[in-house]
Structure 1
Amino acid sequence: MAMSSRAAQFAVLAVLLALSALGGWVALDLRMEGDLSATLEGESVTYQRFHRFEEVFGEVGQDVVLAVEADDLGAPESFAAFEDLLIELQLTEGVTGVISVFSLPDPEAPSTPFLRRPAIADLPPAERLERMLDELPMSADLLAADRSLTLVTVIPDRSIPVTDRAGPLEDGLATAEGPITVNRVGLSRLQLGVAQALTQNQLVLIPIANVLSNLLALLLFRSWRAAVVCAIPPVVALTWALGLQTARGIPMDPIVTMVPTILMVLAFADCVHLYHAISKKAAHLPVDRAVSEAVSESWPALFLTTFTTALAFLSLLLVGSPTLNTLADLGAIGLAIAFAAVFLTVPPLARLVLTSPMKQQSFHFTPVRRAAGAALRHRRAVGLGGMGLLAVLVALSTRTEPGYDMNQHIPTGSDFSATLDRVEAALPGSDRLYVVVAAADPAPGVQEADRARLAAVGSVLYDGAIALPSDVDASSELMRRVAAEDGSAFALPLSAPLGSDGAGTQAYARDISARLDDAGLSEVTEITGYSLMSYIEIRRLVQELRVAFYLAVACVAVLSAVLMRSVRLAIASFVPNLIPILAVEGWLVLTNTPLTLTGAIALTVAFGIAVDDTIHLMNRLRIARRTLPGPQAIEAALDAAVPPVVITSIILVTGFSVSFFSQLPAIGIFAGLVTSAVTLACLADLFLFPSLLAWATEKEDNR
């Protein structure tokens, strides 16, 4: 019979691991996506304005922007190498046009580039470039004043897949030699860098987090058996979740990339709770019975922790963003998968590797138990202090400011980041804004009325006239980017400083808008751009996320009242769940740090995780109250809950902390906010929650 039982356990594990291998194999085709634009899709005025701009003037996000650098591009050797590069790029497969300083039209003959003006053709390159900087105000956006750097925009053939045109373009760039160097900047390069950073997260950081969590389990439980039981289920959950995501065709983007770490770490925490319950039972019961009783006692709490965290994810469905809706979907389904993986994998593993009687783990966290017990003995003062702290934090949270910082999405330490810094220093800015001017005469081409209106706008934007040919040449990429083919509008580019502070893109846009309004041109112009649209839309999403967060809090409060059949117990559990989140938010307020999209998502998810310790303590109280009166039951529940709560908090903090080393600052910020909330939740549940429970149960007992 024993052999038959062991064979059955092996069979179950074999099936589960086979499904895990299948999920891992499918996940090999998981696509990395660095474009965040799907996050911002919606019906808002700002998004639709940018969407219309790209429909009329082209998808600027797919352009390849190059920073060409030299000691002096006006030196004959550098100038010649630069011209050779431009010719090579124009002949490259998959390239439909190249925009550079050679594309800027001559005011005297708009159909001819300024640098090809016959009167200056024989001048040395340095003098030709200086003449251009003096006579064409727009040129300062493309060429540095010291002639050390210039920008080139390569417009791709969008009928050719990105992967097919990447090789020829790289070959064309490789021809750059001698005195010039070429580096990619712009949105397409940013998205490529983000995708590479996401790959690093999945292939390096998540395995490291898993290894560290296992080492912690080995250290804290002093048992290789504990490490085995706790190590395998998170891997099973991760491969199943990633395999399903890949099969559904959902790419890994900068928002969704948070899900695998969350699933793995939470699955590991559930394993710790279940293993701890099994080990306590196995100290005096046969392993098979210990497993059965531990599962029976633990599954309600683990189901509720999974449900509340899934509820936090599902609250994101209330936000009008396709990417956040996908995050809600993957998070909730992934948590269900993790719950199933833990309860399908831990029992057979435990029955195979554990023996009875089991030696209890070495770490009992006696100092923590004593400190928590001391706080419980001063329950009235602690409870009042906790309620007072909550009131202060609620007041502080009303001062939270939503914000957006594009730098959070730029991979650190990359060549892109370094090049972007040089572009930002050499030019008016590395970002791009576009002033869309409605045509004064809707006839195709540039009519006299259009020319007068563009001259007025140009005097505001560039302090000079704008040279445009009379006819819009459909073969000219520059003209297609400036003039709509149907003659309805014109798009004038502006360099803008990258950033979200007072000197950033949005501040520059406000200044331009004010100047256009003073000139009486606000009715015929509108300003757009990817970063500007992102700034406005992400602030809106952050505000919607805050509403979703409070709705999630309300749902959890109602759920707690129903499950506990007590409004007082629900209120008692509500306080330690909310304090950690509001404390982190309060810190942002005190440090004048805006709440970004990453931060808003982190706090929403962290709330779902923070509830976990509260639920486990309530589950221990439920079990203790079967045999002990109220005050003693609370003490017994606290005593039993300290080891698993502390251990899982340490594991959660360790698992998420690995993300600090992500190349994407946003991922590190997410990890920092979640780990801070998890730490504060552990402290609140052990040192505040028992006092509130005593208050709630005393009132109930007196009735």
Structure 2
Amino acid sequence: MGVWFKILRGVFRLQRAFFACQKLVISLTALLIVVVGYGLLSIKTSNDPFLLFGPGNTYRQKLERQNEAFGETNQTLMLLAVKSREDRPLLLKAERALFYILDNADSEFAITDMTSFTSVSSLLPAMGYPIEMTPLTDVEILLDERAALGDVFFNDAHTATIISIKLDVSDQSDSGLQQAYGDQKALADHMRAEFPEVDVAFTGSVSMGEALRDGLTFDRKYLFPMTLVVNFIMLLIAFRNLRITITALGIGLSSVVLTTGLAGWSGHVFATAAVSSFSIIMTLTVASLIHIIHSIGQRQRTLRFQKRDALIQASFRKLAIPVILAHATTAVGFLSLNWADAPAFQAMGNLVAIGLVFSLILVLFVAPVVLSFGCGDMQVRDEKMRNLSRVFTKAWAKGPIMWGVIVGLASMVAVVGLVRTTFDDQFIRFFPAEHPLRQNIQTIADNMGWSQTVDLVLRYDEGMLLSPEGFQQLEDLTNQILALPQVVDIRGPLPIVQNCLDHRSPPYTGTLADVPEKMLNFCVRSNFYVTEDFGNATFAADFRELRMSLLVKRQSSAHVRELAETVEAIAAEAGFTGDRSAVSGVNVMSSYLSMVNTKSMLVGTGFAMIVVSILIGIFLRSLPLALLSIFPNFMPAMASLGLWVWINGEVGMAASIISALTFGIVVDDTIHILYALNRGRRKQTNRGVQRVLQNVFPGVLTTTATLGFGFALLMFSGFAVNQQLGFLTAATIFIAFLFDLFVLPGLYIIFIGRNRKH
């Protein structure tokens, strides 16, 4: 342990050196915050869904391979609908007007990122009906005569039509997403103004990304500042000293500014949803300062003769070990995110771990200087928190084993709920029912009977796709998939090809298996424009891959996963084995988000558990304490997650990272309690442990109230992921408090305290 003591001695010397140059330290710290924090203005964020899936992820690879063959499959679906079939002429007029806008790149309402679009008007020229020579009355006749044309673009009642707009949104930043969404919204608003009797709705990857960005922006603007207000109020109540409260929050905010600034200077692209998690650094910084400030208050009462600066330096030296240990263990928790499948989580974990270095430096070396320089006589008036602490510790002392058993059993009951876990990342449920995204999707579902698409890609040997046998096999497979209850319809080449065969002179009346190959090739190539270099949304350029869209009702992620596996199994039975068939698409990939990351994080959590226990054993020089820390450190997060499952039944993206996000808060209080118990080596009786708890528990109480109620505000978010994150984090903090009060001391007495001599 000689090396460890040398490190501590070096830390104490640096603290004294910093304390001796207060003005210089404050000036250099302010300069560092300005220089590093300037990078905050250039932090790069992206709403690219691929950031949530690693390069080796099976579902990402399926979608990337699909994009290589058919181009980017991002699309926007725009619905036009009227009240009755008698209004179909108006519907066709609106569709024709929309066609002219989309077909004209110089139009005021053109969509910048559009690569192609498909509608009934866009298909007419391929069928031999030029737009300029085909009035809407003729289109009505065609719709009545050619059922396939109506099946592809209209609902059964012919009161609604879908226009599919294919996009290549290269700029996935917030500004790029706003621009792309703005183009689509302007077009929809224009159509509503021109055709007030026609319902217009649109949805797609851009709409969903913009809804996510907007929800997170709202929380950053309003809820996170409200969290600071709650923290301010709780700290002011705890310390009853405005200067100390402002100083603690200021140092916490400085750690966030430095970390976020470092993110900006790094040039790394972070997922928009992950950036707000950097604020977890503030929670640990403030939590460490809370314990130190309460320690200063205790010394003020017991050592009244000691001067202010001596009190400050002594308190920081006393708690240097638990502060360093808490930062180290929290860094381990965030580094465990490298086991997550999502690159966004990995980048967030690594940066926060680096940011904890800023936090540790600020707490150990800058905070003492700022408290001395800017807090006057430094009076900590925490009597109310200490009185409340005595109430809790007296309650524990009346039945230490009984309380431990009750809390432990209750937590086990909560954890049992995890066996009922269902992972659901159904995107639209992230938003309230009145959100425009959900309203648009519901409008499409009401009119078309479906609101979600799943892609099926089939791969053929050379020459097999455009053969009678290939199309007969495709027809048989399509009929099998259509028989599934989840599938409303399938958008593929069969209806259009069959329509072509039906309207030849003379019409072809045989089966697809017997159709002449030249006739089949003509019907495919005349209706689906393909060159040697470029394919389209249905056929790859070499005609060795085919893409169909399964139109399904809105359903949970679990049902999407089940559907994907069922369709691939049906395709395998039809002869498309291995990678010759793949169900893919953003909807499919997203449905596996939480499940894949949660499973991969099990290894990371196990690694963190082992490393943290080793660190606690080394820092506190006690193997029993290292083993003792495992249960109260990891049980609260599992119990809160189980409680959520009992209440809600389903978990989403927040569940996969909750252990890492809450790890620092839970470990921080546990470490301070174990450190205090370990210092009082002869305090092995119930009464002795109670006295130790009374000294350390004001900090635990303040930390729990400040951070617990602060995170609970997220439950008022309009974004379901943050609601879930707020509940899980707040519940974890409050359950950890119960463990620290009622379980940890009892375990200490049973396994460690009574083995020591008086």
1:268-667 equivalences under 5 Å are 268-283=286-301, 284=304, 285-356=306-377, 358=379, 360-384=381-405, 397=418, 400-407=421-428, 409-410=430-431, 413-439=434-460, 441-442=462-463, 446-460=466-480, 461=482, 465-468=494-497, 469-471=523-525, 472-474=528-530, 480-500=536-556, 504-513=559-568, 516=571, 525-536=581-592, 538-591=594-647, 593-625=649-681, 633-667=688-722
The residue number in structure 2 matching 1:678 is: 733
Residue 399 to residue 579, structure 1, CA distance change in 2 (3 Å): same
CA distance in 1, matches of 2:128, 2:52: 39
Is 1:143 matched with 2:160?
no
Deviation of the 1:424 alpha carbon: 2.9
Match of 2:76 among 42, 53, 64: 64
Between 680-689 and 201-210, report the one with greater CA deviation.
201-210
One-letter amino acid of the structure 2 residue matched with residue 100 of structure 1: S
Is the partner of 1:312 in helix, strand or coil?
Answer: helix
Residue 9 to residue 145, structure 1, CA distance change in 2 (3 Å): farther
CA distance in 2, matches of 1:156, 1:433: 17
Deviation of the 1:8 alpha carbon: 4.8
Is the partner of 2:546 in helix, strand or coil?
Answer: strand
The residue number in structure 2 matching 1:102 is: 121
The residue number in structure 1 matching 2:278 is: 260
Residue 323 to residue 385, structure 1, CA distance change in 2 (3 Å): same
CA distance in 1, matches of 2:703, 2:426: 33
One-letter amino acid of the structure 2 residue matched with residue 102 of structure 1: S
Match of 1:178 among 190, 195, 203: 195
CA distance in 2, matches of 1:131, 1:120: 16
Is the partner of 2:556 in helix, strand or coil?
Answer: coil
One-letter amino acid of the structure 1 residue matched with residue 756 of structure 2: D
The residue number in structure 2 matching 1:112 is: 127
Is the partner of 1:154 in helix, strand or coil?
Answer: strand
Residue 391 to residue 561, structure 1, CA distance change in 2 (3 Å): farther
Between 614-623 and 679-688, report the one with greater CA deviation.
614-623
Match of 2:242 among 217, 224, 244: 224
CA distance in 1, matches of 2:626, 2:451: 52
Maintained 8 Å contact 1:97/1:156? yes
Is 1:18 matched with 2:31?
yes
Is the partner of 2:137 in helix, strand or coil?
Answer: coil
Count of matched residue pairs: 688
Is 1:187 matched with 2:205?
yes
Deviation of the 1:643 alpha carbon: 1.3
Root mean square deviation, CA, Å:
3.7
Maintained 8 Å contact 2:52/2:344? yes
CA distance in 2, matches of 1:22, 1:216: 31
CA distance in 1, matches of 2:289, 2:237: 15
The residue number in structure 1 matching 2:233 is: 215
Deviation readout 1:142-198 (Å, 9 max, x if unpaired): 534455543322234668995787776666555422234544411122112222333
CA distance in 1, matches of 2:250, 2:21: 18
Maintained 8 Å contact 1:67/1:423? yes
One-letter amino acid of the structure 1 residue matched with residue 451 of structure 2: S
Match of 1:28 among 37, 41, 44: 41
The residue number in structure 1 matching 2:51 is: 38
Deviation of the 1:229 alpha carbon: 1.6
Between 382-391 and 282-291, report the one with greater CA deviation.
382-391
Is the partner of 1:481 in helix, strand or coil?
Answer: coil
Maintained 8 Å contact 2:51/2:271? no
Maintained 8 Å contact 1:457/1:521? no
Residue 319 to residue 259, structure 1, CA distance change in 2 (3 Å): same
One-letter amino acid of the structure 1 residue matched with residue 117 of structure 2: V
Deviation of the 1:574 alpha carbon: 2.6
Is the partner of 2:456 in helix, strand or coil?
Answer: strand
Deviation of the 1:112 alpha carbon: 1.2
Is the partner of 1:89 in helix, strand or coil?
Answer: helix
One-letter amino acid of the structure 2 residue matched with residue 433 of structure 1: V
* TM-score (norm. length: structure 1): 0.87
Maintained 8 Å contact 1:379/1:692? no
Residue 277 to residue 698, structure 1, CA distance change in 2 (3 Å): closer
Question: How much identity, in percent, do the aligned residues show?
Answer: 20
The residue number in structure 2 matching 1:80 is: 93
* TM-score (norm. length: structure 2): 0.81
Deviation of the 1:351 alpha carbon: 0.9
Is the partner of 1:151 in helix, strand or coil?
Answer: strand
Maintained 8 Å contact 2:684/2:754? no
Maintained 8 Å contact 1:85/1:175? no
In structure 2, runs of 5+ residues without a counterpart are 1-17, 107-111, 483-488, 498-522
In structure 1, runs of 5+ residues without a counterpart are none
CA distance in 2, matches of 1:489, 1:318: 34
Deviation readout 1:462-503 (Å, 9 max, x if unpaired): 58943243325248999600000011111111212233266x
Is the partner of 1:433 in helix, strand or coil?
Answer: strand
Residue 59 to residue 96, structure 1, CA distance change in 2 (3 Å): closer
CA distance in 2, matches of 1:239, 1:159: 29
CA distance in 2, matches of 1:604, 1:658: 20
The residue number in structure 1 matching 2:63 is: 50
